[in-house]
Chain A
Amino acid sequence: MATIDTPAATGGPEEVPAAPTPRKSGRRFRVRSKKMLIGLILLGVFVLIAVIGPIIAPYKPTALMPLQGPPMHGGTAPSQLPGAKHWLGQTNIGGDILSQMLAGTRPTIIVSFLAGAVATALAVVIGITAGYVGGIVDEVLSLIANVFLVIPALPLLIAIGAFLGPNRAGNPLVIGLIIAGTGWAWGARVMRAQALSMRNRDFVEAARISGEKTRRIVLAEIMPNLTAIIASSFLFTTIYAIGTYVGLGFLTVVSAGHDYNWGTILFDATSSSAVESGFWWWYIPPGLAIALLGTSLALINFGIDEYINPRLRMAMSPRHTRRVLGVALRPQLGFTPVVRKRAVGAPTPNTGVGEAL
C-alpha cells in the first residue's frame, strides 16, 4: 500500500485553515468545568476550617464572656453586636459566635461525609446485588430497603439518640453511622433499578458468555456504567446528612456539650428569639454555612456529570466555539448549526470536457 501523506493539503483550494490545536502539555488534571472549580474551592474552604477551625478559634466555644460589642442604637451599654473583639457578635449570654461556628464545622463535615460514604457503600452493595442477582435475594433486599424508606428518619434518629444518651450521641462518628443507617435505602433503590436495566444488556450477556465471573461482571462491566449515579448518590446523601445532623443539633438530640455544631447555634438563636430581636449575626452565619456547603457539593455533582457524560462536555461550549470559529454555538438538538468558514460558490476548479460550466 502506498504511503499516505500526513501533512494536510498543500496549496489546494480546499485547504482548511488549520484550527489552533488544543494545548495538551502537562495539564491533564486541569478542571475544565467552572461549576466543578467553584464547588471544589468552596468545599476546600470548609474542609480547611474543619481541620484548623478549633485551633484558630479566638475563644472556647463554650466560654461565656461579658458583652463587649459596640452599644446598640440609642444606648450606651456594651451589647452583643459584632465588633472588634467578637467578629460575629455574641450570644445573649456572652458566647462568641465565630468560635462556635469554627468549632462546629469539624463535626458537621465528619458526620456528613462519613454518613455519605457509608450510606453510598451500603446502597451500592445492596442495590446492585438485588438488581443483578434477582430472585429471592432481590425480594429480601428490596423488602429491607422499602422498610427503611418507610420509617421516618428523624423520629427514629431522635429515639436512637435518646437511647444512646448525650455522651455517645455527641460523638460525630456514632451520629454519622446512625444517619448512614437511615439514609441508604433511597440510593439502593436507584442502584437496583440501574443494575436491573444493565443486567440484560448485550455487553453484559457477552461478558457472561465469555466466562467472566459474576464478581468481575459486576465490578468491571456494570459498576463503571453507574459511576455518575454513584457519585451523585454520594453527594446528595452527604447533603442529606448535613441537613439531618444540623436538624438533630437543632432538636438538641446532639447536645451542645463540648461539640458545638451549626444546628446547636441555630437552636440557641431560635430559643433566644434572635430572629424577632433582629440579631442577624446569630442565625445568618450557620444558615449560610449550611447553604454554601450544600451548594458546593451540588456544583461538584454537576461537574462530575459533565465529566462522565460526553454529551455534556464542554468541547462545543459557546465560549470555545467563539474562540475557534468566531461564532458562539449553542448545541441545539435537531438543528445542526451552520458556520460558513469561506465564501460560498468557490473553489473547486472545474474543467469541462463535454461542456463548460
Chain B
Amino acid sequence: MTGPKGLPMQLTQSSGDGAAEPLLEIRGLSVEYGVDDPVHAVVDVDLTIHRGEVVGLAGESGSGKSTLAYAVTRLLRDPGIITAGEAYFYDWPKGSYHEAADAVHVQPTIVDLLSDDRDAVRQVRWSEIAVVFQSALHALNPVLRIGKLLDDVLRYHERAMTREQRQSRAAELLQLVGISADRLRSYPHELSGGMRQRVMIALALALRPTLLIMDEPTTALDVVIQREILEELMQLRQRFGFSVLFITHDLSLLIEIADTIAVMYAGRLVEKAPAKALFHSPRHPYTYGLTRSFPSLHGPRRVMAGIEGSPPDLRRVPSGCSFHPRCAWAMPECATDAPPMVRLSDLSGERSALCWLQDGRHRVPEELALVATESDRSSAPDIVTAEEVSGNDR
C-alpha cells in the first residue's frame, strides 16, 4: 500500500509512537490565575501532539484541561498568566500531510507560541490552529448569516480569493459537514444545536488548519447527534489529516475516537497512554478509578465504582501527590514528595504515569499492572485507504 508519492503508508498513518512527526510540543507548561494567592490551574504539563493524531484530554471539571488548551493558543483571559514552560507549534507546509518529512521541502517552521511576538502567534491562529468552542450558539454572531460568517473568515485570511470563489468554497465547507448549501442564507438561531456545532466545525476547517482544538464540542448535544458529528469529524480527519486536541470529561467517548489519551488531575497530567491501553490497563490510580466509573460498551459486565472524595482546591493543592488523599494505594511518601513522571513502554507503545507506584522500586498493585496487548496499540477508528488518500483534494 502506498501513498500518493509512492511513500510507505506507515509514514502517513497516525500512531502514538515516537517516530511520528510532532505538531505541537508543550513542555513544562504552568498556568496560574491571579497574582495574589494564585490558583495553580495547570502545573508542569508535558504534552506532544503529532501530525494526524487525535489526542484526548480528559479530566473532571477544574482539572485544567481547557486552561491548558487556551494557554497554548494564548487565549486565556486576564487574570490568567503562563508562569513556566514552552510551547512550540510545527508549521508544516500546507498539504504536506500525506508526504513524509524530508530534508528538502517538507520541513516545518517552528513557531514559539509563548513568544512576545504577537504577529507570529496571530499568524498560526485559525489558519493553523482552529478552535471549536463548547457553546456554538454563543460563538456564532447572531446577526450574521452563516454564509457571511464563512465568507468573513475566507476574506480576511485568503485575500487572493474572489467573491465567487469564496461563495463556492463556503457552500463546499457546509456540505463537508453535512449541511445543505441553501443554509448559507440562514441565521444561527434558525439552526438546531447540532447544525450550529457543524457550522462551527466548518468555520474551523475553512482555512485547512493542521490542529483543531475542540473544547467539549459535543457536551451540549444529545448522544445521537454527538455520534454523527464525531463520525463526520473523524472522516474529515482521514481526508485532510489534521490533528485534533479533544477536550472532554467523557472518557468513554475518548476511548472511541482518540489515538492517545492524556488524563489531567488538579492541573497535572497524571497519565498519558494510547487510548485503548489507557482503558484496558491503566497505570495511575486516578485513571483506574475513572475507567471503573462508567460501563464499557463492548466489554463484559462489571461492578462500577467511583472515586472517593472530591477534587482539591487549586489554591491549596495537597502536598506531595495531589491525588494522595483520595488514593487507595497511598504510601507515606505520597503525602510528602511529588511523584515522578515515569516513562513506561509496553506492547501498546510509549506511555507515562505520574505515580510513585510505577517507579520500579515499589510493588505495583495488580489492578495497575494489567498487561497491555498489541491490539491496544492503535485506536484509529478506520484505516486510511489509498482511494481516500487519492481522493483528497488538497
Contacts and interface: CB of A to CB of B under 8 A. Distances in A.
A contacts with B: majority SS: loop
Contact of A350 (B114, B336, B341): B341
B320 A350 contact: no
A167 interface: no
Interface in B320-359: 320, 324-326, 330, 335-338, 340-346, 358-359
Contacts of B80: 336
Contact of B316 (A4, A340, A348): A4
A6 B76 CA distance: 28
Nearest to A320: B35
B82 A16 contact: no
B36 interface: yes
A333 interface: yes
A352 B343 contact: yes
B43 to A, nearest CB: 6
B76 A341 contact: no
Nearest to B32: A16
A313 to B, nearest CB: 10
B250 interface: no
B340 A351 contact: yes
Interface residues of B, number: 55
A346 interface: yes
A262 B336 CA distance: 73
A219 B77 CA distance: 32
Interface stretch (A30-38, A154-162, A273-281, A324-332): A324-332
Contacts of A321: 35
Interface stretch (A7-15, A198-206, A287-295): A7-15
A333 B77 contact: yes
A150 interface: no
Counting contact residues on chain A (CB < 8 A from B), the size range is: 35 or more
B301 interface: no
Contacts of B84: 340-342, 344
A57 B28 CA distance: 70
Given A19-B37, A339-B82, A353-B344, A7 B359 contact: no
A336 B82 contact: yes
Given A21-B37, A316-B35, A7 B82 contact: no
Contacts of B312: 4
A311 interface: yes
Contact of B74 (A7, A336, A346, A349): A336
A353 B35 contact: no
Contact of A334 (B43, B75, B325): B75
Given A336-B77, A337-B82, 19 more contacts: A4-B312, A4-B318, A6-B316, A12-B319, A12-B336, A20-B36, A311-B78, A325-B35, A331-B79, A340-B84, A344-B27, A344-B86, A345-B27, A346-B28, A348-B44, A350-B341, A352-B342, A353-B343, A353-B359
Interface of A: 1-14, 16, 19-22, 311, 315-316, 320-321, 324-325, 329, 331, 333-342, 344-355, 357
Interface of B: 27-28, 34-38, 40, 43-44, 70-71, 74-86, 114, 116, 118, 121, 308-309, 312, 316-320, 324-326, 330, 335-338, 340-346, 358-360
Closest 7 CB pairs of A and B: A354-B345, A331-B78, A336-B76, A2-B325, A12-B338, A353-B360, A338-B82
20 contacts: A1-B308, A14-B43, A19-B36, A316-B35, A320-B35, A329-B81, A333-B78, A335-B118, A339-B81, A344-B86, A348-B340, A348-B341, A350-B341, A351-B340, A351-B342, A352-B343, A353-B360, A354-B343, A354-B345, A355-B343
